[in-house]
Structure formats: structure tokens, C-alpha cells
Amino acid sequence: MKTAELNLSYFKAGDDFEACRKGRTLASALIRHCEHLKAASAKIMRLHDAMPKRGVTIHGDGHMILVSGPDKWIAEMVDAGILDETY
């Protein structure tokens, strides 16, 4: 059993939106924020689609999501850029 982190491209909604506003019009900032959230959603769906039916646990804690599962599968998810190794 190995554990890795699911890093998503958002932290705090207000801070993330303000980062999207820098140098943009309000309308383009809203579009950029949507793209930001779509990227996070797509990463979650990739994890979902590749997840084995058994042997995986996911634990959310504060600002992190930890995924544990078979060593080989976790390594594949890290190699695919879906998960990041924890140290």
C-alpha cells in the first residue's frame, strides 16, 4: 500500500479568483477561473476512471487529499501526472 497526494489547482476560492483577475478584464477573469476549475475537475475524473474497484482509500484533510492504494497503481497515477508523491 502506497500513498500519494491529489493536488488540485485551487486553494481558496477568493484568492484563486483574484489570481485570475491579474491583468484581465472581469469577463476574461471569470472565464479563466472556470478553466481553472475545469482542469481540477478533469484531474478528479481521470483519477475516478483509473481507480480500481477495491483497495483504494481517499482521505481529505485541510488543504490536501491523500490517496492510498496498491503500489503499482499509485506509481502509475504519479507517472501519469494525476497524483504527486508524498515525502
Task: Sketch the domain layout of the chain as residue ranges.
Answer: 2-85
Q: What is the C-alpha separation between 16 and 40, in angstroms, rounded?
A: 13
Predicted model pTM: 0.84
pLDDT of 22-57, one tens digit each? Answer: 889 999 999 989 998 999 999 999 999 999 999 999
Question: How buried is residue 53: exposed, middle or buried, by Cβ count under 10 Å (0-12/13-18/19+)?
Answer: exposed
